[in-house]
Amino acid sequence: MSNSNLGGKRIIKLKSVVSSTNSSGPTVPTSDAVEKEISGQIDNLKIELEDLRTNKELLLNETNSEIQQAKQNWETEKHAYIESAKEEGYQAGYIEGKEVAHLEYRALIEQANSIVESAGIDYHATIEKHEESIIELAMYTAEKILRQQLEKSPQSFLPIVKSAIRELKDQSVISIYLHPANYETVLEQKEELLQVLEEDVRLAIYINDEIPENGCLIKHPFGQMDVGIDTQLNELRQVLHEVSRENAT
């Protein structure tokens, strides 16, 4: 049955019933026969209408299934398109972000190196600018610490004298002149000083109040040596200044 019959009107044709009084003609159907024939046609139409209704429902169901499947396919494809676009966007964004991060990293390294270099330049400039003050401060600190050590432990002065006469151990006569505050300390350790010298060297220790405290003047046949604390600190100061000038050039 074609779809054009759906929802349309069906024309039902009924056969004509002819009444005849001619006894020699065909037999005329009775009203019961006509009614029976019409009833059969109506039953056939009902069956056909039921088939049409069934086919219509099947067609609608099939159409709805196709529509739902199409929707489902579209949702699946749409989701795939969205995921693909996200992935492509993610990859593009990841690569771009990686490049940006690398550039920022390089910029930070260059900035850090520049800061270090500038700090080094500023450091050396500051050192050069205040080098004299730094040397004097270092010398003042060293002198203060040394004098405190000597006040706390007067025996600490002895190594200074011992180191000086060790350089003169080949002299025949060595005379040591000390401030009164240091005289007794060194005199008590005379035997220890003699062990540094040769056996035939004559060692004499004298007091000289003109020598500053913690000062030490050592005389020998060919000259004399000033090995006191102040003298050694001054020599150290001169060495530091010379090193500073050499570094500046």
What is the reported pLDDT for 208? 92
What is the reported pLDDT for 74? 78
Q: The tokens 């009614």 sit on which residue?
A: 35
Task: Decide yes or no: CATH 3.40.50.720 for domain 133-248.
Answer: no
What is the reported pLDDT for 96? 75
195 φ, ψ (degrees, to nearest 5): -70, -20
Tokens of 181: 């505050």
CA distance 80 to 72: 12
Predicted TM-score (pTM) of this structure: 0.42
Q: What residues does 218 pair with on adjacent strands?
A: 176, 225
DSSP string, 135-203: HHHHHHHHHHHHHHHHHH-GGGGHHHHHHHHHTTTT-SEEEEEE-HHHHHHHHHTHHHHHTTS-TT-EE
Per-residue pLDDT of the chain (249 residues), as tens digits, is 444 444 444 444 444 444 444 444 455 556 677 677 777 777 777 787 777 778 777 877 877 787 888 778 777 877 776 777 677 766 777 777 778 888 888 888 888 888 887 777 766 666 666 666 666 766 667 666 766 777 777 777 888 888 888 888 778 899 999 999 889 988 988 888 888 888 888 989 999 999 988 888 999 988 898 888 887 778 777 777 677 677 666
First to last CA, the chain: 115
Q: Could you tell me if 174 and 204 are in contact, meaning their C-beta atoms sit under 8 angstroms apart?
A: yes
31 φ, ψ (degrees, to nearest 5): -65, -30
What is the reported pLDDT for 3? 45
Q: Which amino acid is present at 80?
A: A
What is the reported pLDDT for 160? 82
